[in-house]
Amino acid sequence: MQRVTVRCEAMVGAQIRPAQDVELHLVDDSGRRVKRRYTIRDLRAGIGEMDLDVVLHGDWPGSTWGRTARPGDEVRFQGPRGKLELRPADWHLMVGDESALPAIAAIADAVAEPSIVVVEIPDPQEQQPVAATDVRWVHRGSHAPGTPDLLLPTVSALDLPGGKGAAYLLGETRSMVALRAVLEARGIAHEAIFVKGYWNVARPDRVSGRAPERPG
């Protein structure tokens, strides 16, 4: 994970909700224009400065930008935007993978009620400070990313508090949908669960046989 700080006069005095993002306008190796969205981890509105945490994986446009960005570089973006709104609840649960870590940390910063965080990451070196009541790190190791295999048993075994809970599931799309079913079965209301797919596991295209690009 690489943190890139962007300063923009248009962001001076801006107000954002937790987990809102900006869409960067980038260029790939072939010169093609591409767009990549990144959560605003922190905004210092007084000086128009925001932190973007970029997952570094492969040579995708976003990862390349995160590795090579230097002071003085210009970057164009749209936003902030995003539909997530904090649900009224007695406690909050946030679950996801490393792609959602900036959003999960931002939500944990914003809620006043007790919170539980479960994040799947490659290894202990990827752990970051998260201001939650209870933080569980699931280390993937050699297990393939983008499956619910590790998060499902962890979430199923959680000792959830009493009262009304709200959940925010952020990460690989199909894995988050699978987790939603588990939480509904455990009594969290459907409307109290927010699901956001940040990326999809590459699967062969039905027409061409090519694998779609993982965002980054």
DSSP reduced 3-state for 135: strand
Q: Residue 207's pLDDT band (boundaries 50, 70, 90)? A: very low
Query: Is residue 51 in a domain?
Result: yes
pTM: 0.88
Q: Which residue has the tokens 């981890």?
A: 41
Q: Are residues 168 and 195 in the same domain?
A: yes
Q: Is the pLDDT of residue 205 over 90?
A: no
Q: Which is nearest to 103 in space by CA: 209, 1, 20?
A: 20
| Neighbouring residues of 14: CB distance < 8 A, sequence distance ≥ 6 | 43, 45, 48, 80
Query: Is residue 17 in a domain?
Result: yes
Six-digit token pair at 1? 């994970």
Q: Are residues 41 and 77 in the same domain?
A: yes
Q: By residue range, what is the domain housing residue 6?
A: 2-81
Q: Are residues 95 and 193 in the same domain?
A: yes
Q: Which is nearest to 167 in space by CA: 112, 90, 102, 109?
A: 90
- Residue 214: predicted pLDDT: 39
Furthest C-alpha separation in the chain: 54
Query: Is residue 109 in a domain?
Result: yes
Distance CA 74, CA 55 (A): 20
- Tens of pLDDT along 98-110? 999 999 999 999 9
Q: Are residues 188 and 104 in the same domain?
A: yes
Q: Are residues 74 and 151 in the same domain?
A: no
- Tens of pLDDT along 42-55? 999 999 999 999 98
Q: Is the pLDDT of residue 183 over 90?
A: yes
Question: Mean per-residue pLDDT for 28-54?
Answer: 95
Q: E strands along 31-183, which residues?
A: 33-44, 49-54, 76-81, 91-97, 115-121, 134-139, 165-172
Domain boundary among 32, 52, 81: 81
Number of domain units in the chain: 2
Q: Are residues 75 and 98 in the same domain?
A: no
- Tens of pLDDT along 159-169? 999 999 999 99
The answer to whether the CB of 118 falls within 8 A of the CB of 136 is yes
Query: Is residue 208 in a domain?
Result: no
Query: Is residue 206 in a domain?
Result: no
Q: Are residues 23 and 119 in the same domain?
A: no
The answer to whether the CB of 75 falls within 8 A of the CB of 24 is yes
Q: What is the mean pLDDT of the chain?
A: 91
To the nearest 10°, the Cα dihedral for 84, 53, 22, 176? -40
Q: Are residues 70 and 111 in the same domain?
A: no
Q: Are residues 117 and 182 in the same domain?
A: yes
- Residue-wise over 26-44: b if at least 16 C-beta within 10 A, else e? beeeeeeebebbbbbbbbe
Three-point CA angle 87, 91, 93, nearest 5°: 80
Domain boundary among 81, 112, 135: 81
